[in-house]
Amino acid sequence: MQQASLKVNEVFESLQGEGSYTGAPSIFVRLQGCPVGCSWCDTKHTWQINLEDESSSEDVMAQNFESSQWFTVTPASLFDLFSQQGYVAKHIVITGGEPCMFDLRDLTELAHSLGYTTQIETSGTFEILCSSKTWVTVSPKVNMKGGYEMREDALLRANEIKHPVAMQKHIDELDSLLTLLPKDKQPLIYLQPISQQKRATDFAVKTCIQRNWRLSLQTHKFIGLE
């Protein structure tokens, strides 16, 4: 059976810096394409899928700077690439861009059959198609420029909700989304200060203590990792 191909902007090995898997050695697969339009996004180079930016995996992997270039790969070929690069991490983080623009069932099922664990980082604005074993991190994007609505099925699939915050309105938005979930389906809640601003961090810490939620800091940025 032919596997669905993926448009990949970047592949690298590092430590997961956010959420429940903080500190875990991970292989990051960054997919190209995202129409959501978050103003604070730190990967805007992944937004557009321009045909003139299609390149080879060799050229993309050789880059050491942010680029809108991408390459097409099947899940099986992606694992060949991991071997070529000598990666040893056994946790795969599929991010973007918006990874759920793609059908990720082939990739995640193959990963688990090969002994990997998988995680998807998504905005929750697209249907999540993946293995039932995949850890799903939903970072809700509400009232963004792209005009996409949060999907209730994405919230129900979430193992953790990692919500970017800077002010009370962000908590109000999160509370509104949480009303869509039954009491027996409550994911872990992480608050992540937007752009690591001190004011946003202080607000997130205070709210986490008040609500018995968890704090997610982008620890990879603090220690200088990709």
DSSP 143: S
Question: Is 34 marked as a binding-site residue?
Answer: yes
Angstrom distance (rounded) from CA 33 to CA 109:
22
Interatomic CA distance for residues 62 and 137, integer angstroms: 29
100 in a known ligand binding site: no
List CB contacts of 214: < 8 A, sequence separation 6 or more: 188, 189, 190, 191, 208
* C-alpha span between 130 and 82 (Å, rounded): 20
43 is in an annotated binding site: yes
Nearest one of 112, 110, 109, 122 to 30, comparing CA atoms = 122
Q: How far apart are CA 123 and CA 137, in angstroms?
A: 8
Does 122 carry a binding-site annotation?
Answer: no
Q: How many angstroms separate the CA atoms of 193 and 98, rounded?
A: 20
Between the alpha carbon of residue 57 and those of residues 33, 60, 220, the distances in Å are: 17, 5, 25
Contact 217, 192 (CB under 8 A): yes
Ligand-binding site membership of 78 (annotated): no
Sign of the dihedral defined by the CA atoms of residues 139, 144, 145, 150, in that order = positive
Instruction: Tell whether 41 is in a known binding site.
Output: yes
Q: Is 151 annotated as a binding residue?
A: no
Confirm whether residue 214 is marked as ligand binding: no
Q: Is 208 annotated for ligand binding?
A: no
Enumerate the known binding-site residues for substrate.
15-17, 30, 95
Enumerate the known binding-site residues for Mg(2+).
43
Enumerate the known binding-site residues for S-adenosyl-L-methionine.
40-42, 97, 139-141
Enumerate the known binding-site residues.
15-17, 30, 34, 38, 40-43, 95, 97, 139-141
Enumerate the known binding-site residues for [4Fe-4S] cluster.
34, 38, 41
